[in-house]
Structure 1
């Protein structure tokens, strides 16, 4: 039995689907199971409710540990890993973030580091996945593009190895179902470094329509996030990440996807072509 946390999110749903297609027994954890339709046993689980974690973990042989980004990740990771230890789960694959433990300016890396350390110190066999920025992050441009408005650019010409979430999920499945990736930390990127203008140019070609780009200062973007209801600490962390990218800090490429999957990582152009309908 493989327990997938964050099972209704971008990566989680793909991991559940791929595991089910392989014939694995899958348990999908979500805070609100009502109306959830996945090819798995659906269980309620809340990282802040230890009894629910015990119920979700009981009988599981492996756990895919995934949580929404935010300062709560440390608390949630440690709670789940304590439940994993109590129930003798044999394997944990954790979805972390690129740069974790490497740069103290990045809030996301700080959020994930305590969980990574606890995982390595525990008794379960472990694998850590540190993906770069997801191709799906550009879906928040869809409303702008459909309305003919310019895409907001917070990172200037800073480039990063944008990764297709399907590749991240496929690597997670390999780590969960084979013994070949025990004790490994993989930094998962796409095959090329792309800036926001680069991605917009690819979308122009895929969609066959003009798309403009407008630079937005980070202080303005932060105020907009807070005004929209985001936690100020989360907004500050997000802006630090954007600044890091803008300054070239995330311009790295690895071959880890190819190492695990035996093929080149999917390009952003491939992802965009497969999701053109979302942009109108």
Structure 2
């Protein structure tokens, strides 16, 4: 049994990783800025130790990481910006090095190492480079596009009108993965560190075009859904970062070896998009107040 610290434990990736690690019998330290939140309480009830930790408070990180064997590290630019994300990532790496952490699994993003020009890909790649230069034993995983995002934001708003609004051509393939699978894969890597040390692995569980995604959503919702291409200019008016990402998806693509991952790790039970969509409570999601995106 390992003692594994998990940052972002009340978020999608961190929460999924914490749960997967608990299932594997490890001792989990759930690091969060909000130790009394419902998500933190739920993890505590599952057996995790919940620790307050803040990337802007190095002492809190030092205390939370003391004595841990391994670390699952996730950072985000969306509550701050990419400059802050990079600073947070470097602070976390420094704290892990000082604590003598034996293995860091950093979740970046697929293609972050390919000079994409996408701001939040570049910030994650800067953290990757800093991590590798630190000398701390590490593995980097790069998740593809999140299936979970299709049940939020403008996608959910558009589904209420019977369309799947997405800023890509209908026939352009996109690789996808859900948070549950990211957590399962991260837990596998942490469990078998010797097999994965020093590797960078992009991960995805399915590949579909927007037209195919719309068809799968229509099946899950039992109502017609048609893909509607959102103009990139509309996205850019709200986020230059996301516009750059969708431009990359549309022109370069986000290829990941889905077949190879399923072949090499069949025990993980990779979720197809249809699997994920079938697990969602669409009536409740659609009944919620629109986000205004």
Q: TM-score, normalised by structure 2?
A: 0.85
- Residue pairs, 1:116-131, within 5 angstroms: 116-131=128-143
Measure, in 2, the Cα distance between the counterparts of 1:64 and 1:174.
12
Aligned to 2:25: 23
Q: Residue 205 of structure 1 is aligned with which of 219, 234, 237? A: 219
Change (3 A) 1:176 1:161: same
Matched, 1:97 2:101: no
Measure, in 2, the Cα distance between the counterparts of 1:62 and 1:263.
21
Aligned to 1:60: 68
Measure, in 2, the Cα distance between the counterparts of 1:245 and 1:267.
20
Aligned to 1:48: 56
SS in structure 2 at match of 1:198: helix
Aligned to 1:253: 257
Aligned to 1:232: none
Measure, in 2, the Cα distance between the counterparts of 1:5 and 1:105.
26
Change (3 A) 1:257 1:48: farther
Change (3 A) 1:55 1:160: same
Matched, 1:238 2:242: yes
Change (3 A) 1:91 1:263: closer
Measure, in 2, the Cα distance between the counterparts of 1:88 and 1:47.
18
SS in structure 1 at match of 2:213: helix
Measure, in 2, the Cα distance between the counterparts of 1:142 and 1:183.
38
Which range moves more in the overlay, 51-60 or 64-73? 64-73
Listed as ranges, the gaps of 5+ residues in structure 1 are: 226-234
State the Cα deviation string for residues 64-107 of structure 1 (Å, max 9, x = none): 00112440221111100100111111110000111112124222
How well do the aligned residues superpose, as a CA RMSD in angstroms? 1.9
Between the two proteins, the alignment pairs up a number of residues equal to: 268
SS in structure 2 at match of 1:180: helix
Check the 8 A contact 2:9/2:31 in 1, yes or no. yes
Aligned to 2:4: 2
Measure, in 2, the Cα distance between the counterparts of 1:102 and 1:248.
11
Q: TM-score, normalised by structure 1?
A: 0.88
Aligned to 2:291: none
Measure, in 2, the Cα distance between the counterparts of 1:22 and 1:61.
15
